[in-house]
Chain A
Amino acid sequence: MRTMTMVAAINDALALALERDPDVHIFGEDVGVMGGVFRATDGLQSRFGTDRVFDTPLAEAGIVGMGIGMGLAGLKPVAEIQFAGFLYPALDQVLSHLGRYRHRTRSRYHLPMVVRAPYGGGVHTPEQHADSPEAILAHTPGVKVVIPSTPRDAKGLLLAAIEDPDPVFFFEAIKLYRSVKEEVPEGHYTIPLGQARIVTEGDDVTVICYGGMVEVAQKAAEAARAHGIGVEVIDLRTLVPLDTGTILASVQKTGRVIVVTEAPRTGGFHSEISATIAEEAIDFLRAPILRVTGFDAPYPPFTSIEDAYRPNPVRVAKAIRKVMAY
């Protein structure tokens, strides 16, 4: 075990993947000499060479499109999109091709590709650097979506994503890259995609979240505990595939649900979770399902009011009080 930040754990996973499997190739903007703008690929080029870890021209559609070709031809491409907010030029490749190759060739071809991208707010990045576009991907058939919230999970999930035979988007909360540290097992291990993690157990309220919102939910849960309210915090870890089993078991126990995300409110993945609970467990609900989310506006580039956009423990605590009082 070694104490690591999330970015170090991701670097460790990438190095292990490169070491274990000669088909793994890492590429993107500034991932080589510079080691990525967040240093997630630091040192990999000097260790594994410029064939395995390389800078591409600045073109996201090209990065994903080329990765699709590499994947079709038997490699395991691991692409980095510099910020999730700059994934949009590549969406044509994602929507038209990445998600459908297996289906449109009846499994003759498949795409074992991983696309990593830093996402989310909380660190005062410039305009368009803090987007949370996971719902767009989760709504695209044929791609998986993974969003870790701890260093240990990040490493195990990333290795699982790279070993997965299908395309996986791997979103990394910028806020968490260096702010959390924990013991991470040495060497290779995987955490299966599609298994949520119960962060804290509780009998009164279920708070469902992922990525950068897990620590926010945890803080709200701690505050609630001081008032005698037991909050079960569930970290989804993967949106696709979604672990409905863990969600429903918790809802059956608590009967009260809050879903937390920093993405805009309307049409988000949180609504999918709410709908699933309404379909499968309405009889267990003792209060309406509440969503604590960002707003239906672009993530504000205005530093002084950014923090009002992103859900914080106070907003989650308020939702907890509301479902308890219903």
Chain B
Amino acid sequence: MVQLLTPGGEVTDPARLPDPETQRRLYRLMRRARHFDERAWVLYRTGRMGVFPPYGGMEASQVGTAAALTHEDWLFPTYRDTGAALTYGLPIPQTIAYWRTSPHGWAMPENLKVLPFYIPIATQYPHAVGAALAEQRRGTQNVAMAFIGDGGSSEGDFHEALNFAGALNAPCVFILQNNGWAISVPTRAQTKATNLSRRADGYGIPGVRVDGNDVLATYVVTREAVERARRGEGPTLIETVTYRVKPHTVADDPSRYRTAEDTAGWDEKDPVVRLRTHLLAQGHLTEAEDAEIVREIEAEFEAALAEADAYPEPTPAEIVDHVFAEPTPALRRQRAELLAEEGQ
């Protein structure tokens, strides 16, 4: 398993470490992602956010991977990957709107190649292969990155996508976040396999296993996979070994299926703390700079929240909008019905 920084903040492989500037960037992105996760919980509890799948503790897995992309590349996130989407560049107001179930969160920005969070498991993996192929056929060097969970890697679509990507040499980076659980089912009950990165072997593509709580490692490994794909050398599967410390969603009660011992020890592997310890020790960050980063992030979020609060509520007629480019006669009738209802 690739690891560059131990849980105690010790560097294991100085030669592969990204430069200090990149380290600081990753730190900031992780803090920003964590802040969103923490605020989302509070907003949910006060009725200002819908059901939200938390990712707190998995920031290194999402930030290190997504940070290796540019806006020319594609991102196919699952519901769990708000941290990856924010890192890629999805604006915070829209992200808030998405989890508030407001249509403003579904209108993806024109300048980004990110799809709305995927709810059905694994179905987006073949889409990523298709997008990657399209880029390749158009002669670009852009890649597609897709996320999945350990549970999701049991679905047929996951296997078909890996096989297609290998056979067609598609420039894809497949991130398999192994966070130990698929709702109540632990990975050991999900599969007899103990090293999910080796699933790549069956399709003749490289598989990499990385410490998913070590952002420097996830970043370096993903950068390498992205560069391989850009060079035309095909897809890579990266298994980020992490842990879902939080419940499956804010509405889930994990005490039904997991014990405190199951989770014990993982808090110490906190990816944010790990990098912070390292940066402070190396003199790449001071306490004062850290406090400033947090202040900026908080201010950014509050401004974004205000922007999201200002989005108007949808009206019922929006139910039938955006079904076809041209509404069918039936849809036009149905829209009129909805408008008539509203008028009353």
Assess whether A305 is in contact with B190, with CB atoms less than 8 Å apart: no
Assess whether A58 is in contact with B152, with CB atoms less than 8 Å apart: yes
Q: Do A295 and B183 contact each other (CB < 8 Å), given the known contacts A89-B123, A126-B51, A303-B50? A: no
B residues in contact with A59, CB < 8 Å:
154-156
- B182 interface contact, C-beta 8 A: yes
0/1 interface trace, chain A 111-144, chain B, CB 8 Å (1 if under): 0000000000000111111000000000000000
Give the nearest-CB partner of A92 in chain B: B156
- A38 interface contact, C-beta 8 A: no
Q: How far is the CB of A130 from chain B (nearest CB, A)?
A: 11
0/1 interface trace, chain B 290-315, chain A, CB 8 Å (1 if under): 00000000000000000000000111
Stretch in B216-224, B263-271, B323-331 touching the partner: B323-331
Q: How far is the CB of B316 from chain A (nearest CB, A)?
A: 3
Assess whether B191 is in contact with A57, with CB atoms less than 8 Å apart: yes
Measured in the bound complex, the distance between the Cα atoms of B321 and A308 in whole Å is 14
Q: Do A127 and B184 contact each other (CB < 8 Å), given the known contacts A58-B154, A297-B331? A: no
Stretch in A11-19, A28-36, A214-222, A244-252 touching the partner: A28-36
Assess whether B314 is in contact with A295, with CB atoms less than 8 Å apart: no
Assess whether B101 is in contact with A34, with CB atoms less than 8 Å apart: no
Measured in the bound complex, the distance between the Cα atoms of B190 and A265 in whole Å is 39
Number of interface residues of B (CB under 8 A): 43
Main secondary structure of the interface of A (DSSP, over half): loop
Give the nearest-CB partner of A34 in chain B: B184
Within 65-119 of B, Cβ neighbours of A (below 8 Å) are at: 79, 100-103, 106, 119
Number of CB contacts from chain A to chain B under 8 A: 115
Q: How far is the CB of A291 from chain B (nearest CB, A)?
A: 11
Measured in the bound complex, the distance between the Cα atoms of B189 and A33 in whole Å is 12
0/1 interface trace, chain A 195-235, chain B, CB 8 Å (1 if under): 00000000000000000000000000000000000000000
Interface size range of chain A in the complex = 35 or more
Assess whether B102 is in contact with A302, with CB atoms less than 8 Å apart: yes
- A170 interface contact, C-beta 8 A: no
0/1 interface trace, chain A 284-305, chain B, CB 8 Å (1 if under): 0000000000011110111111
Assess whether B183 is in contact with A61, with CB atoms less than 8 Å apart: no
Assess whether B185 is in contact with A297, with CB atoms less than 8 Å apart: no
- B334 interface contact, C-beta 8 A: yes
A residues in contact with B191, CB < 8 Å:
57
A residues in contact with B331, CB < 8 Å:
295-297
Measured in the bound complex, the distance between the Cα atoms of B51 and A85 in whole Å is 17
B residues in contact with A61, CB < 8 Å:
155-156
Measured in the bound complex, the distance between the Cα atoms of B341 and A295 in whole Å is 14
- B137 interface contact, C-beta 8 A: no
Assess whether A128 is in contact with B120, with CB atoms less than 8 Å apart: yes
Assess whether B334 is in contact with A30, with CB atoms less than 8 Å apart: no
Q: How far is the CB of A198 from chain B (nearest CB, A)?
A: 29
- B273 interface contact, C-beta 8 A: no
Within 238-289 of B, Cβ neighbours of A (below 8 Å) are at: 256-257
Measured in the bound complex, the distance between the Cα atoms of B121 and A59 in whole Å is 9
Q: Do A34 and B330 contact each other (CB < 8 Å), given the known contacts A57-B191, A302-B102? A: no
- A266 interface contact, C-beta 8 A: yes
0/1 interface trace, chain B 117-139, chain A, CB 8 Å (1 if under): 00111110000000000000000
Assess whether A295 is in contact with B120, with CB atoms less than 8 Å apart: no
Assess whether A296 is in contact with B330, with CB atoms less than 8 Å apart: yes
A residues in contact with B103, CB < 8 Å:
302
Q: How far is the CB of B43 from chain A (nearest CB, A)?
A: 14
Q: How far is the CB of B15 from chain A (nearest CB, A)?
A: 39
A residues in contact with B328, CB < 8 Å:
296
Assess whether A265 is in contact with B183, with CB atoms less than 8 Å apart: no
Measured in the bound complex, the distance between the Cα atoms of B121 and A304 in whole Å is 25
- B11 interface contact, C-beta 8 A: no
Q: Do A35 and B154 contact each other (CB < 8 Å), given the known contacts A29-B182, A308-B316? A: no
Assess whether A89 is in contact with B157, with CB atoms less than 8 Å apart: yes
Cross-chain contact of A126 among B79, B106, B156, B315 (Cβ < 8 A)? B79
- A37 interface contact, C-beta 8 A: yes
Q: Do A55 and B119 contact each other (CB < 8 Å), given the known contacts A33-B184, A37-B183? A: no
- A185 interface contact, C-beta 8 A: no
Measured in the bound complex, the distance between the Cα atoms of B123 and A294 in whole Å is 25
Q: Do A58 and B320 contact each other (CB < 8 Å), given the known contacts A89-B120, A305-B314? A: no
A residues in contact with B120, CB < 8 Å:
85-86, 88-89, 128
Measured in the bound complex, the distance between the Cα atoms of B123 and A124 in whole Å is 23
- A269 interface contact, C-beta 8 A: no
Measured in the bound complex, the distance between the Cα atoms of B44 and A124 in whole Å is 14
Assess whether A58 is in contact with B155, with CB atoms less than 8 Å apart: yes
- B17 interface contact, C-beta 8 A: no
Cross-chain contact of A30 among B122, B183, B316, B319 (Cβ < 8 A)? B183
Q: Do A89 and B184 contact each other (CB < 8 Å), given the known contacts A34-B257, A57-B191, A303-B50? A: no
Measured in the bound complex, the distance between the Cα atoms of B341 and A189 in whole Å is 44
Q: How far is the CB of A301 from chain B (nearest CB, A)?
A: 5
Q: How far is the CB of B19 from chain A (nearest CB, A)?
A: 39
Within 164-193 of B, Cβ neighbours of A (below 8 Å) are at: 182-185, 189-191
Q: How far is the CB of B105 from chain A (nearest CB, A)?
A: 9
Assess whether A57 is in contact with B101, with CB atoms less than 8 Å apart: no
B residues in contact with A298, CB < 8 Å:
323
25 contacts between A and B (CB under 8 A): A30-B183, A57-B190, A58-B152, A58-B182, A59-B156, A60-B155, A62-B154, A89-B156, A124-B50, A127-B119, A265-B330, A295-B331, A295-B338, A296-B320, A296-B330, A296-B334, A297-B334, A301-B106, A302-B102, A303-B50, A304-B313, A304-B314, A305-B315, A308-B338, A308-B341
Nearest 5 pairs of A and B residues by beta carbon? A308-B316, A34-B184, A57-B154, A58-B151, A303-B101
A124-B50, A126-B51, A297-B321 given; 18 more Cβ-contact pairs under 8 Å? A29-B183, A30-B182, A33-B184, A34-B183, A34-B256, A58-B151, A58-B155, A59-B154, A88-B120, A297-B320, A302-B318, A302-B319, A304-B314, A305-B315, A305-B316, A308-B316, A308-B338, A315-B341
